[in-house]
Amino acid sequence: MIIDGHSHVTLPIEEHIQLMDQVGIDKTILFSTTFHPELANNAQEVKEKMKYLNDLLAGKKGSMLEARKASIMELVNAIKQYPNRYIGFGAVPVGLSLNETKEYIEENIVRNNLAGVGEFSLGAGQAHLLEVIFEAAREYHKLPIWIHAFNPFTLKDIQETVSIANQFPEIPVILGHLGGTNWIETMDMVAETPNLYLDTSAFYSTFVLSTIINEIPEKCIFGVDMPYGDLELSKQAILKYAKTSDISKAVLGDNIAKILNI
């Protein structure tokens, strides 16, 4: 089974499903999103949408909590339309108390039958905020946690995240984007830590992608990060650089299927 392990709700949903059919993707692990760059027509509109998101994240505009809840509704509706093609991960705010976090997860993740929590996109120096998320996730069927590990997340943040993950060995943790420019150190930590995995989306070098997927194939999860990445070219890259068909099979679907019991 070929599974895109990381993409955001990309509108219109029908076109995303058609594209999955064309490229030969059986399922997508779908993440909520608070904005839709795929609806922008040009750079000016992209910039306006990015600015809005940044203001939202910085607390300058609107309520991030409300925006997150609305995005989960959108995610849940997409999954309801295509229950055999989509499996959902839902965003959870950081900075809440343990009890508030548990309530949020109960209400938004568990009741909606979502399979995991994330994407956590934190700023530099914010990794410690994940500790409460891990504690809450443990209580709900050991929900997997998906963490953006590219810029602005630093190597120190990744190390701190790994250290927290070590305290929760029963929770699968997926570090996004191969650890970004800190890929060597991240690869080594993931190799050593049983509950850590790497998502391949947003790779900026096929040399890096190739090195990692052939070194720790059982730890790599194919991801596209739509609408930011290209489904077809991303799949081609894995098929081209995996040294064996066992490796491409593991990365392109088997690994995430095992984690999520698909």
Instruction: Tell how far CA 181 is from the center of its chain.
Output: 17
Binding residue for its own copies (CB under 8 A) from 90, 180, 223, 253? 180
Q: Which is nearer to its own copies, 123 or 169 (CB)?
A: 123
* Three-state DSSP class for residue 36: coil
Give 111 or 240: the residue with its C-beta nearer to its own copies: 240
Asked whether position 245 contacts its own copies by CB under 8 A, the answer is no
- Please tell me whether residue 175 binds its own copies under the rule CB under 8 A: no
Whether the Cβ atoms of residue 183 and residue 212 lie closer than 8 Å to each other: yes
Per CB under 8 A, 211 contacts its own copies? yes
> Backbone dihedral region of 33: left (phi > 0), alpha (psi from -120 to 50 degrees) or beta?
beta
Residue closer to its own copies, measured from CB, 168 or 183: 183
Alpha-carbon span 161 to 166, nearest angstrom: 9
Q: Are 226 and 30 in contact (CB under 8 A)?
A: no
204 binds its own copies (CB under 8 A): yes
Nearer to its own copies, 112 or 121 (CB): 121
48 sits near its own copies (criterion: CB under 8 A): no
Q: Who contacts 221 (Cβ-Cβ below 8 Å, separation ≥6)?
A: 5, 6, 174, 197, 198, 199, 200, 251, 255, 256, 259
* For its own copies, the closer CB: 76 or 187: 187
| Comparison of 104 and 146: residue with beta carbon closer to its own copies | 146
**Shortest reach from residue 147's CB to its own copies, in Å:** 17
Length of the chain: 262
Residue 244 has what DSSP assignment? S
| Residue 7 burial (10 A CB sphere; 0-12, 13-18, 19+) | buried
Look at residues 58, 71, 72 and name the one whose alpha carbon lies nearest to residue 111: 72
Residue 199: strand pairing partners:
221
258 binds its own copies (CB under 8 A): no
Tell me: does residue 26 bind its own copies (CB under 8 A).
no
- Residue 214 in the binding site for its own copies (CB under 8 A): yes
With CB under 8 A as the contact rule, the residue among 77, 97, 206, 244 that binds its own copies is 206
Residue 77 near its own copies by CB under 8 A? no
- How many chain residues are in contact with its own copies, going by CB under 8 A? 36
**Min. distance of Cβ 96 from its own copies in angstroms?**
28
Query: Residue 4 in 3-state DSSP?
Result: strand
Whether omega for the bond prior to residue 37 falls within 30 degrees of 0, making it cis, is: no
Q: Please report how close the Cβ of residue 134 comes to its own copies at its closest, in angstroms.
A: 27
Binding site for its own copies (CB under 8 A): 37-38, 40, 42-43, 46-47, 50, 150-152, 177, 180-181, 184, 187, 202-208, 211-212, 214-215, 225, 227-230, 233, 236-237, 240
